[in-house]
Amino acid sequence: MKPNILAYKALPDDVLAYLREHADVVTLDDAALSPGTLAAALKDADGAIGASVKVTPAMLEGATRLKALSTISVGVDQFDVDDLTRRGILLAHTPDVLTESTADTVFALILASARRVVELADWVRAGQWQKSVGEAQFGVEVQGKTLGIVGLGRIGGALARRAALGFDMRVLYTNRHPNEAAERAYGAKRVELAELLGAADFVCLQVPLTAETRHLIGAAELKAMKPGAILINTSRGAIVDEAALIEALRHGTILGAGLDVFEREPLAADSPLLTMKNVVALPHIGSATRETRHAMARCAAENLVAALAGTLTRNIVNREVLKRP
Ligand code: NAP
């Protein structure tokens, strides 16, 4: 008998067709999704695929058939992984396929913030370009500066490559373990967070959101940055204490910020961040190219089909589940 799969995010037609070859598929409209409807639909599912929705332990209470969850993301902060493991539910994610497009977004934010691309494009649109530009419109250089990567893993590595080989930047990073490949290939130097904050012209956050990394960057860390430095966050909003960031930007503690992620998403239209010229705010588009989003959906669908067949060997978040009798 085919397993039951619940898709709680819209999928490309060919990916849905692939799932239907292997399973009976129920789709939920993600625009109208509430925790209650998702919990009710999970009761009949052997597996589920989706993204961008918090899946809490309470929502899984009735999901007695559920064997696998497949998230269309690399980040797994929408799940209580320990709880899934206790329940014997395997969690799969989509690393690697989104690494390059996300590193591009980081670099787009570095360049946009340093060269004031969004602010000055708005200035031209508003008809303010009436003579050749002067100091008031100058940005800061990127080439040859120091980049600090907080969390040099897959995306951090792709960022280090762009910075070291493309922009002749010095790369500093923090990690719990050394990333020897990045040290060899890009001259990346592992330092303590305090040293990175004090030396970097651009501080890029690329750690996963966990209990340990929540509010990793608060008032004290922002104060430890150079006054001319720019903070880039394309990881998860809650890694930064957003209220402290707003204060730091208001008082000129740092030069600017390029943000793809926020503590609350979508970002409220009345957020003080949107009134600041030295902030570039994006709507969580780290991996959002047509090609990458398609590859992520396909990868997550293949992960789920293989997980339900008992043949998945990669992209597994809680491998401990496989060791259970
Ligand atoms: P990854 O390969 O696992 O890299 C994460 C790095 O963070 C690792 O090198 C890890 O090294 C380091 N790290 C430092 N402190 C850590 C801690 N306390 N806990 C865990 N790791 C710590 O992940 P990735 O594929 O580069 O993705 C990183 C994150 O980017 C994702 O989790 C996601 O939140 C975010 N992301 C955002 C978007 C977007 O649309 N904006 C898109 C893709 C990904 P050690 O283990 O040695 O510490």
The whole-number pLDDT of residue 305 equals 98
Mean of all residue pLDDT scores within the chain: 97
Distance CA 78, CA 171 (A): 31
Over residues 58-109, the pLDDT tens digits come to 999 999 999 999 999 999 999 999 999 999 999 999 999 999 999 999 999 9
With a 6 Å cutoff on the Cβ, whether 235 touches ligand 1 is yes
Determine the average pLDDT of the residues in 170-176. Answer: 98
CATH topology assigned to domain 99-281: Rossmann fold (3.40.50)
The whole-number pLDDT of residue 285 equals 98
Q: For residue 324, what pLDDT band results from cuts at 50, 70 and 90?
A: confident
Distance CA 42, CA 60 (A): 7
4-97+290-323 and 99-281: identical CATH topology: yes
Tell whether the model's pLDDT for residue 312 goes beyond 80.
yes
265 given a catalytic annotation: yes
Distance 74 CA to ligand 1 centre (A): 9
125 given a catalytic annotation: no
CA atoms within 13 A on the CB side of 49: 30
Q: For residue 314, what pLDDT band results from cuts at 50, 70 and 90?
A: very high
In the chain, where the domains are located? 4-97+290-323, 99-281
Give 4's strand partners.
24
Q: Which CATH number fits domain 4-97+290-323: 3.40.50.720, 3.30.70.1150, 3.30.710.10, 3.30.360.10?
A: 3.40.50.720
Distance CA 301, CA 15 (A): 7
Q: Give the pTM.
A: 0.97
Q: What percent of the chain has pLDDT over 70?
A: 100
214 given a catalytic annotation: no
Tell whether the model's pLDDT for residue 32 goes beyond 80.
no
